[in-house]
Amino acid sequence: MTAPYRFHAAEISYFSAKVRPALRAKGIHYLEVIPDYRGVILPRTGYSFIPIVITPEDETWQDTSTILDRLEAREPTPALYPTTPVQRTIAYLLELYADEFMLLPAMHYRWSFPESIAKARADFAAMSPEPAAATKFATRMQGTLPFLGITPATIPAIEAHLRDLLDAMSAHFAVHPYLLGGRMSLADCALMGPLYAHLYLDAVPGRLLRETAPAVGNWIERMNRPDPDAQAAATWLADDALAPTLEPILRLVGSDAVPLILAGVAAFEEWADGQPADLVEPPRGVGGHTTSLRGIPMDRFTSSYTSWMVQRPLDAYRALDDAGRAAVDRAVAGTGCEALFAFTPRHRVEKRGFTLALAGR
């Protein structure tokens, strides 16, 4: 038997929750271990992010999008990435939404309510041999709320978005077990980050989910315990179709998330325009910008990483032939998601090792 993959991850970690169902659905021989920051993660990546995956050949994978891309290439069955134009592009779009926008309700519901805060702090402390370090980390996470745009003024819009999403997902899961039909995809995996690791496990939103959206709870449990044989035998909807019940979800993405994400990318591009030609590695945060959610102004820090994430659905869309792009255009018509596919970035961001760099420099 070959050595197992080693997955440095945590149950209450957003991005760990995105990768875990993929490892399980593919029936991969892996061990989930408590993150070893000092001994493994920092020396191998230069960063303190989880999750990371160490392969049987001792390669280090960091960043869940990269991890899932590589896992799909090495362990293709059951596939998580559709190969048909509409389903493939929508899977990347929902990954972008889950990773970038859903941080708002996930971080709000974890860090705005005393009951949630107390549980999250205790959960962090339990994960760490150094309770003082866990407390420091929790305080730092709590402190990021205003930088993400989570303030008393914007909270009602963030909460309204989540309620609408839970309603739309409940209606969808009443008909289909997964977002694209009969089996899980990249889109389901990505949405497990906010919906499982934060909203299901945290005290206050955990009650909201269980009381108002049991079908979402059932999807979460299914996602975390997939049967690889059943996944391999199941299919996404035939003929590259999207379920009619997915459309309300795409409308929420298009009306609330796409404008907010594009405002962040526009601010990054403006920053990048003004940088000297020898500036290669953008910092993670490059100042701030103002956007809005449901008509409420929102100030946020400008993240270089958002530009990298936006490229994923855009690259998938641009790789299609004319007929494929036309099919995607028809699928998103009227949802607001058209604005994303119409966007052409001036700056391309790429990964060099584990670090982001401005392409061509």
Ligand X SMILES: N[C@@H](CCC(=O)N[C@@H](CS)C(=O)NCC(=O)O)C(=O)O
* Cβ distance to ligand X smaller for residue 147 or 329: 147
- Determine if 123 is a binding residue for ligand X (CB under 6 A): no
User: Between vectors from CA 330 to CA 326 and to CA 336, what angle results, nearest 5°?
Assistant: 115
- Calpha distance 61→351 (Å, rounded): 12
Q: Which of 5, 7, 15, 178 touches ligand X (CB under 6 A)?
A: 15
* C-alpha 301: how far from chain center: 18
Tell me whether residue 109 or residue 173 sits nearer to ligand X (CB atom). Answer: 109
Q: Of 48 and 77, which CB lies nearer to ligand X in the complex structure?
A: 48
Residue (50 or 134) nearer to ligand X, CB = 50
The CA distance from 147 to 145, in Å, is 5
Q: Give the type of residue at 135.
A: T
Residue from 22, 50, 96, 310 touching ligand X (CB under 6 A): that is 50
95 binds ligand X (CB under 6 A): no
- Angstrom CA distances, 200 to 17, 171, 222, 297, stand at 11, 18, 13, 28
Shortest distance, CB of residue 14 to ligand X, whole angstroms? Answer: 4
Query: For ligand X, which stretch binds (CB under 6 A), given 47-55, 245-253, 316-324, 328-336?
Result: 47-55
Task: Give the Cα separation of 109 and 207 in Å (integer).
Answer: 11
Region of 349 on the Ramachandran plot (φ > 0 left; ψ -120 to 50 alpha; else beta) = beta
111 belongs to the binding site for ligand X (CB under 6 A): no
Interface stretch with ligand X, choices 60-68, 225-233, 294-302, 352-360 (CB under 6 A): 60-68
341 is a contact residue toward ligand X (CB under 6 A): no
**CA 250/CA 290 separation, integer angstroms:** 24
- Which residues inside 62-91 make contact with ligand X, applying CB under 6 A? 63-65
Residues at the interface with ligand X (CB under 6 A):
13-15, 48-50, 63-65
